[in-house]
Amino acid sequence: MSHFETRSGFISIVGRPNVGKSTLVNSLVGEKVAIISRRPQTTRNTIRGIVTLSELNTQLVLVDTPGIHKPRNALGERLNTLVYGSLAEADVALFVLDATKRIGRGDRLIAERLQQAGVPVIVAVNKVDIAGKAEVLGQLGEAGEWDFEAYVPISAKRADGMEPLIGELVELLNPGPFFFPPDAKSDQPDELFAAELIREKYLSRLRDELPHSLAVVINELETLENGVMRIDATAIVERDSQKGMAIGKGGSLVRDVGTEARVDLEKLFGTKVFLELNVKVEKDWQRKNELLDRLGF
Ligand SMILES: Nc1nc2c(ncn2[C@@H]2O[C@H](COP(=O)(O)OP(=O)(O)OP(=O)(O)O)[C@@H](O)[C@H]2O)c(=O)[nH]1
Ligand SMILES: [Mg+2]
């Protein structure tokens, strides 16, 4: 008999880019803890969302991870390493598939890695709201050959299928202590929330390769005497030619991004926010390990 009256565990959420991992974390937590975009490779950190089910005395720590892809540079390699590293600490892996995309080499590679990782795996077939019945059934059948613990069709965007999914997850958790207070939703520091929200606004407004070349750092975040939160942030791009795009005509883009981010930040922190945002070039930051260290990857 265990001496814990509670259950808890780390659930690593993995899958190819853009399948809806971050959307799923937000739906399970019931709050926006991870940023989302229609572009692949949005998530660049492991982001923890926390779900405490008081009636079951259970706490799930959901670990959102970057999508696994063929790495093209030092950043890509670091992201993949990060994902596989998160599996080492996981009690359960939640493997997300996109019902509208046929299972491909990338998915099979992840499935193999999961089989080797020695953790129980639950497969969520996502985006059933926009997939045909045949597509969903076909994918459940094909993925079923991997012989994982359970298969659950869901729509992360509409929060459909969350109850059966949570049921499957809870069944695989062992007795253990809560890692966070029962009302916690995330363990992200304010600086990271702020940087991610600013990056999200850029992702939805920039075209082509530029989103992937952009990183955001918070230079300072402080609460002033009058209660206003002052945030000093820099958007970093890779080349001189990108700087103008990130600033926009007459500063219009950086201004719009700043305004949109500020609205979200004020909601998040429940206080007035004063955001200073500027743009800077760091040549080829994605390829240089020393720069990646400095940017916190
Ligand atoms: N229709 C539909 N769209 C979804 C669903 N879940 C996610 N999406 C959309 O899919 C896109 C990618 O969602 P994300 O949650 O950012 O995907 P991700 O797997 O975290 O992507 P990376 O962080 O890049 O690996 C966004 O445009 C979402 O709105 C869903 O259940 N239905
Ligand atoms: Mg994501």
- Render pLDDT for 126-163 as a digit per residue (tens, 0 to 9): 999 999 999 999 999 999 999 999 999 999 999 999 99
- Examine the pLDDT at 1 and tell me if it is beyond 60: no
Q: What is the pLDDT of residues 61-98, one digit of tens each?
A: 999 999 998 888 888 888 888 888 899 999 999 999 99
Residues 33 and 161 in one domain: yes
Helix, strand and coil content of the chain, in percent to the nearest 5, comes to: 40, 25, 35
Ligand at minimal distance from the CA of 68 is: 1
Ligand at minimal distance from the CA of 34 is: 2
Residues 260 and 169 in one domain: no
Instruction: Report the chain's C-alpha Rg in angstroms.
Output: 20
- Examine the pLDDT at 292 and tell me if it is beyond 90: no
Is the residue at 94 inside a domain? yes
CA of 47 to the centre of ligand 2 (A): 9
Encode 18-52 in three state secondary structure: CCCHHHHHHHHHCCCCCCCCCCCCCCCCCEEEEEE
The residue contributing the CA closest to ligand 1 atom 32 is: 127
Which of ligand 1's atoms lies nearest the C-alpha of 15?
19
Task: For 58-71, give one letter per residue: b (16+ CB within 10 A) or e.
Answer: bbbbbbbbbbbbee
Q: Of the ranges 164-168, 196-200, 284-288, 292-296, which one carries the lowest mean pLDDT score? A: 292-296
The residue contributing the CA closest to ligand 1 atom 9 is: 20
Dist. CA 297–CA 295, nearest whole Å: 6
The CATH number given to whatever domain includes residue 91 is 3.40.50.300
Question: pTM, whole model, 2 decimals?
Answer: 0.93
pLDDT at 2: 61
pLDDT at 210: 77
Residue 226 has phi, psi (to 5 degrees) of: -80, 10
Residues 170 and 203 in one domain: no
Residues 20 and 147 in one domain: yes
Residues 207 and 289 in one domain: yes
Residues 261 and 284 in one domain: yes
Residues 101 and 217 in one domain: no
CA of 25 to the centre of ligand 2 (A): 9
Q: Decide whether any atom of ligand 1 lies within 6 Å of the 73 Cβ.
A: no
CA of 42 to the centre of ligand 1 (A): 10
Mean pLDDT of all residues in 261-278: 95
Dist. CA 220–CA 232, nearest whole Å: 5
Q: Decide whether any atom of ligand 1 lies within 6 Å of the 157 Cβ.
A: yes
Is the residue at 253 inside a domain? yes
Q: Taking all residues of the chain, what is their mean pLDDT, rounded to a whole number?
A: 93
- Examine the pLDDT at 123 and tell me if it is beyond 70: yes
Q: Decide whether any atom of ligand 1 lies within 6 Å of the 66 Cβ.
A: yes
Residues 100 and 129 in one domain: yes
End of a domain among 175, 209, 238? 175
Is the residue at 185 inside a domain? no
Q: Decide whether any atom of ligand 1 lies within 6 Å of the 126 Cβ.
A: yes
Mean pLDDT of all residues in 235-254: 94
Residues 261 and 163 in one domain: no
Is the residue at 182 inside a domain? no
| Tokens representing residue 286 in the block | 């994605």
End of a domain among 116, 151, 175? 175
CB-based contact 231:194 (threshold 8 Å): yes
Q: Of the ranges 94-98, 181-185, 266-270, 284-288, which one carries the lowest mean pLDDT score? A: 284-288
- For ligand 1, mutation pick of 13, 16, 18 (most atoms within 8 Å of CB): 18
Mean pLDDT of all residues in 261-277: 95
Q: Decide whether any atom of ligand 1 lies within 6 Å of the 67 Cβ.
A: yes
Q: Decide whether any atom of ligand 1 lies within 6 Å of the 80 Cβ.
A: no
pLDDT band per the 50, 70, 90 thresholds, residue 232: very high
pLDDT at 242: 92
Residues 154 and 17 in one domain: yes
Residues 211 and 249 in one domain: yes
Mean pLDDT of all residues in 181-186: 96
Q: Decide whether any atom of ligand 1 lies within 6 Å of the 18 Cβ.
A: yes
pLDDT band per the 50, 70, 90 thresholds, residue 286: confident
Provide the number of structural domains found in the chain. Answer: 2
CA of 23 to the centre of ligand 1 (A): 6
Mean pLDDT of all residues in 20-36: 96
Q: Is 112 exposed, middle or buried (0-12, 13-18, 19+ CB in 10 A)?
A: exposed
Is the residue at 184 inside a domain? no
Its domain, for residue 110, covers 7-175
Which of ligand 1's atoms lies nearest the C-alpha of 40?
24
Tell me the sheet residues that pair with 160. 155
Query: How many CB atoms are closer than 10 A to CB 153?
Result: 21
Dist. CA 178–CA 180, nearest whole Å: 6
pLDDT band per the 50, 70, 90 thresholds, residue 120: very high
Ligand at minimal distance from the CA of 110 is: 1
- For ligand 1, mutation pick of 36, 70, 129 (most atoms within 8 Å of CB): 36
CA of 59 to the centre of ligand 2 (A): 22
pLDDT at 75: 86
End of a domain among 175, 205, 229? 175
Residues 142 and 194 in one domain: no
Ligand at minimal distance from the CA of 16 is: 1
The CATH number given to whatever domain includes residue 199 is 3.30.300.20
